[in-house]
A and B are shown apart, each in its own frame.
Chain A
């Protein structure tokens, strides 16, 4: 399917015949590159078999909250798989891990009898019992601390924050105990805890319930952060996070819970530190994660129609960054746009900009453009809230400006 899209883009490009759009610099020239760019990728492989990371994510889901099944052809190549929503994918991943390892337990507010405020743990209390799916009182600091203490002895708790913003109350435990205990004990204790919960700007939830905590947690040494965006990677990342011996914070997004996708029947675990190539391209690298992936893909549709060829990468791993994938992309396209929902000041985009500048400065033709949310508390009014986050139109404008 991507091959078809590529072909279209190339045709459009040829017909517009604007040589400026295709900046083939001789500096660090890509090997095997010829004038015809239809089917030959930069590393010499045919376009259709490019995606070495995973073959699943080729459908372009453009709507952020997709409610109808995706019309793209089934992305699985082996078995038909089964369709489910993102929260069901999380549930499936969690259930498989709890079946596999009796040390995995869940703690959080309303995870047990209520089934989870976003139904991720529905049915678990009946299946696993009240001690293993623990309904906690509203005491984030303490139950996160309890999870960390339990992890020190060998349990693998999964802590659910009902909303990521509530985890600010547990910041001391996450920063000082979760992140640092492995180091300050000289390696004696490991903290295999998973902290997960929905964050991000929802539908008029108000300022305190629309927070993006990635930026606050990213400097804590010792933890890992991942953000899921599709049912496929949600299940894979959940399983990987539980199996990891490091403390992992899994960021979900409130508006993505009802995304539907077909995922494989067989068991799979994704790599926590790997980024996902959503749409390979040639002109500009767009780095994004979580919900902004869908805004970017929507913008990509417009861009492709206008003749651009953006490469879209869902970085997925927020700490550490997958500089290998990102670097290869930068070396290919020489232009980077970061589209994120995090705050402008000190956000993931800011760190990523610094990281790419430090490591790949020579490969960049233009300064990195970072599109992030405005540095304001999220307002309640729908029109204002819409403009707090990056919209597809802004992405299109930024790409056009960058690729001049």
Chain B
């Protein structure tokens, strides 16, 4: 971490450089800072939490670094896709990073997260490495799913990340199942089942919500509302775009998803609620800068002015940058250094991932079943790729 100093006066600025060897490490201090969220929370059948969020300098810097890493990774994935190293579907999360880092700050690795296909950054937040991420995107052996899953199927079982699902809405019953298992084994953890504003109109969401409420499962349904379901704006798809109210008998909370501290407060609040009272719906008001996926330019259904407007006014990284600067935790230059460092890290990971080999052809038949039966499987021409299902 960059060493930081407390700026005294402008007069001492030239001296501060000379005093670099004696800088105080203020970022490791745990003196709490209170931050106000940008907007108040709105609640449905529940009292919203307060706008003041406790945080530490360490956490602020971590937020900045993690979000910069995620942003850099997604932009690198964009270039890799255009260079045809990533194929198929690639759904990018830049603009929505605050949801991931805010959530991680409020929970432990024993809590489960399950999400849909926009999962690269959430995987990183759960402890995945950049190498695993890029290798999986490029279909290499070192990927988190051994190259067999792809962009939409990132999983990390040991830190409670359950994916990574391609079919819209199908992960919500799975998430309620995770919550059911948590209730069954009575370990005081919760499940965050994330979905988008497009998936909010799926029937299985309401079926799963009904069951979660019926049995008081510790499930938190998080709607990442980026206002567009691929090309359809939310007002064209939903009669009632107040997704946090859709639960009816289930309480809901709406937070500004571009503000990492609002997300953190909402998730902390939701976790306490879910452990005591059962499910709750969170709506994170967020925005994605890229299109739905790499094949979508993202500008046919919204104006470039809108995108750049959000980038100027609501960008999550900029908000943290301003907070860091206003609390004198780092200088502009130091933040830029962090971003350069992050860029280097991403480039190294890409280089390493490019060297990772493709999976062996015999891997076609592994992991179909947990325990196989010696059944033979043939390739299309029945000559090659013949293997005994292990």
Contact = CB atoms under 8 A, between A and B. Distances in A.
Interface of A: 105, 131-132, 134, 136-137, 139, 141-155, 172-173, 176-177, 181-190, 192, 221-222, 224, 244-246, 273, 320
Contacts, number: 148
B174 A148 contact: yes
B153 interface: yes
A142 B178 contact: no
Interface centre among A149, A185, A222, by most chain B C-beta atoms within 10 angstroms, is A149
Interface in B152-201: 153, 155-157, 162-167, 170, 172-178, 180-184
B271 to A, nearest CB: 18
Nearest to A136: B211
The 8 closest A-B pairs by CB, nearest first: A149-B177, A145-B173, A186-B146, A149-B174, A139-B207, A142-B207, A146-B177, A186-B145
Contacts of A145: 170, 172-174, 176-177, 204, 208
B174 A187 contact: no
B27 to A, nearest CB: 35
A182 B163 CA distance: 12
Contact of A224 (B167, B170, B181, B369): B369
A229 B362 CA distance: 37
B145 A185 contact: yes
Nearest to B174: A149
Nearest to A183: B367
A146 B145 contact: no
B177 A148 contact: yes
Given A145-B204, A149-B162, A221-B368, A188 B145 contact: yes
Contact of A153 (B170, B178, B207, B370): B178
Nearest to B146: A186
Contacts of B178: 149-150, 152-153
Given A146-B173, A146-B177, A189-B155, A182 B207 contact: no
Contacts of A147: 177
A154 B370 CA distance: 14
B373 interface: yes
A146 B215 CA distance: 13
Contacts of B163: 181, 185
B137 to A, nearest CB: 14
B55 interface: no
B268 interface: no
A320 B376 CA distance: 10
Interface of B: 112, 114, 143-150, 153, 155-157, 162-167, 170, 172-178, 180-184, 203-204, 207-208, 210-211, 214-215, 366-371, 373, 375
A142 B211 contact: yes
Nearest to A139: B207
A137 B368 contact: no
B152 to A, nearest CB: 8
A190 B370 CA distance: 7
Contacts of A187: 146, 366-367
Contacts of A181: 163
Contact of B371 (A172, A176, A244): A244
A150 B176 CA distance: 8
Interface centre among A105, A141, A151, A245, by most chain B C-beta atoms within 10 angstroms, is A141
Contacts of B373: 273, 320
B176 A142 contact: yes
A152 B177 contact: yes
A186 B144 contact: yes
A150 B181 contact: yes
Contact of B149 (A149, A150, A186): A186
A186 B215 contact: no
B370 A246 contact: yes
Contacts of B147: 186
B360 to A, nearest CB: 13
A367 to B, nearest CB: 21
Contacts of A188: 145, 155-157
Contacts of B155: 184-186, 188-189
Contacts of A150: 177-178, 180-181, 184
Given A144-B173, A145-B170, A145-B177, 7 more contacts: A137-B211, A142-B208, A148-B173, A149-B173, A155-B181, A184-B153, A244-B371
Nearest to B145: A186
Nearest to B112: A153
A185 B369 contact: no
Interface centre among A105, A145, A147, A181, by most chain B C-beta atoms within 10 angstroms, is A145
B371 A146 contact: no
B278 to A, nearest CB: 14
16 contacts: A131-B215, A132-B184, A134-B215, A137-B207, A139-B204, A141-B173, A141-B204, A143-B211, A146-B177, A149-B176, A150-B178, A177-B170, A182-B370, A184-B150, A187-B146, A190-B370
Interface centre among A141, A147, A176, A185, by most chain B C-beta atoms within 10 angstroms, is A185
B151 to A, nearest CB: 11
B371 A186 contact: no
Nearest to B166: A176
Nearest to B369: A246
A117 B172 CA distance: 28
Nearest to B167: A176
A399 to B, nearest CB: 30
Contacts of B143: 186
Contacts of A173: 170, 173-174
Contacts of A148: 173-174, 177
Interface centre among A144, A152, A246, by most chain B C-beta atoms within 10 angstroms, is A152
A183 B163 CA distance: 13
B325 to A, nearest CB: 41
Contacts of A155: 180-181, 184
A148 B178 CA distance: 9
A185 B153 contact: yes
B194 to A, nearest CB: 14
A143 to B, nearest CB: 7
A134 B143 CA distance: 38
Contacts of B369: 182, 222, 224, 246
B90 to A, nearest CB: 16
Given A142-B176, A146-B173, A222 B368 contact: yes
A263 to B, nearest CB: 25
Nearest to A155: B181
A369 B260 CA distance: 67
A143 B148 contact: no
B175 A149 contact: yes
A146 B181 CA distance: 9
B122 to A, nearest CB: 15
A224 B372 CA distance: 10
A143 B114 CA distance: 17
A137 B212 CA distance: 11
Contacts of B371: 244-246
Nearest to A153: B181
Contacts of B156: 188
A354 B207 CA distance: 40
Nearest to B191: A149
Contacts of B211: 136-137, 139, 142-143, 146
